[in-house]
Amino acid sequence: MCDAYKLFVQLQMDKRGIDCDDLHATIRDNLDLPITKDEVFIIFYKVDKDGDGFWSFSEMSDAFTPRETEYKTLVDSRGGFYGGESDLKNYFEGETRECLKRFIRGFCECEISVELIRQRIMNKLAVKPDMAFKCLDRDSKGYLVINDVREFLRGQNMYPIEKNLGLLIERFDKSEDDTVDYDEFVTGITPFLSGLTDN
Ligand SMILES: [Ca+2]
Ligand SMILES: [Ca+2]
């Protein structure tokens, strides 16, 4: 993971982290992956949990390593391999690069489809965020917990597995306190971009 971080931060290890331009340049120029500015923007802000405009090492590691603890530990325990290498094009073998590209492409597609759903919710259904929040917050606590979402979905005859419920909460819960407050909820359902078209 430290090699991946070096690749994206473009060896500027004294920087606060990876910024949006680093991300764009690395994906486009180094990985040769066509990507639009909107796509860069959307994945950048998904990973930048604290919203400081940089991907820190831990933010990147959380987004790039597997959820399963065993695999995450395995990836995290690997040391850097390209210590003295100064040419970023030499980072990672062909197959690893292809995996990284597939991951980034999949990540983009997933986030773009979520964005389209956000736009549909806000534009077509004209959902009022405060009403939606009240509807989910069953005992008017002022925040949502996993059980609120579970019960709401049950009411719609939907029974997602625990892991998916957890991922859903995690998507909204920027402060990582396992609850979703009103601001987090509004941010989570508000579209990022205005330029995307919902086909
Ligand atoms: Ca950050
Ligand atoms: Ca929270």
Look over the chain and give the mean of its residue pLDDT values, rounded to a whole number. Answer: 92
Nearest Cα neighbor of 52 from 87, 15, 84 is 15
Name the pTM for this structure.
0.84
**Domain extent listing, the chain:** 2-114, 127-189
What six digits make up the tokens of 53? 């405009």
Ligand 2 center to residue 103 CA distance, Å?
27
| 143 touches 181 (CB < 8 A) | yes
Looking at the CA of 57, which ligand is closest? Answer: 1
At 123, the pLDDT band (50, 70, 90 cuts) reads confident
Q: How far is the CA of 164 from the centre of ligand 1 (A)?
A: 24
CA of 156 relative to ligand 2 center, distance in Å:
25
Structure tokens, 198: 């919902």
Helix or strand (DSSP H, E) at 144 = strand 143-144
User: Is CATH 1.10.238.10 correct for 127-189?
Assistant: yes
Task: List all residues 6 or more positions away from 186 whose beta carbon is below 8 Å from its beta carbon.
Answer: 129, 133
Give the model's confidence band at 196: pLDDT under 50 very low, under 70 low, under 90 confident, else very high: low
